[in-house]
Amino acid sequence: MPKIPLNVIEAAKVESLRSNMQQQMAAVIFQDKNILSVGHNRLVSPSPNPQLQYLGVPYPYSIHAEVDCIINYEGHRKDLRFASIFVYRQKKDKTCGLAKPCNCCKKVIRAAGISKVYWTENDGDIGTFI
């Protein structure tokens, strides 16, 4: 099982509590034990994007934790090639759940240049792909 630094796991747990969605998710970009960015999934309402409003998309939409985390990153994109991202899901009973990134998030993670991806599994293990 991959070894995720304890401070990264704790940051993900805390960040997941900021989510306003039923499935509370968080993502943390880190390098070694240094946390570079955090993000959480959330429902955004109404759409702040004028193009979406113009197209008649008045309903709320969600931002995935991975995308939020990458958006929140304030460093140089080239530095992300040495970074990892950890995606965490907290269930209502406070245990971790499956948080494997969806295909769209995988594309965003690759486009950002992040080389290693870790996520929680339903059984408490950590999944990974590079």
Query: What domains are defined for the chain?
Result: 6-129 (3.40.140.10)
Tokens of 28: 């943390």
pLDDT for 61 equals 75
Q: Which helix (H) or strand (E) holds 11?
A: helix 6-16
CA distance 92 to 84: 27
Residues ≥6 apart with Cβ < 8 Å to 91: 97
List the chain residues with pLDDT less than 70.
1, 45-60, 130
pLDDT for 129 equals 80
Residue with tokens 């979406």: 52
Give the other-Cβ count within 10 Å of 105's Cβ.
20
Contact 87, 117 (CB under 8 A): yes
pLDDT for 62 equals 86
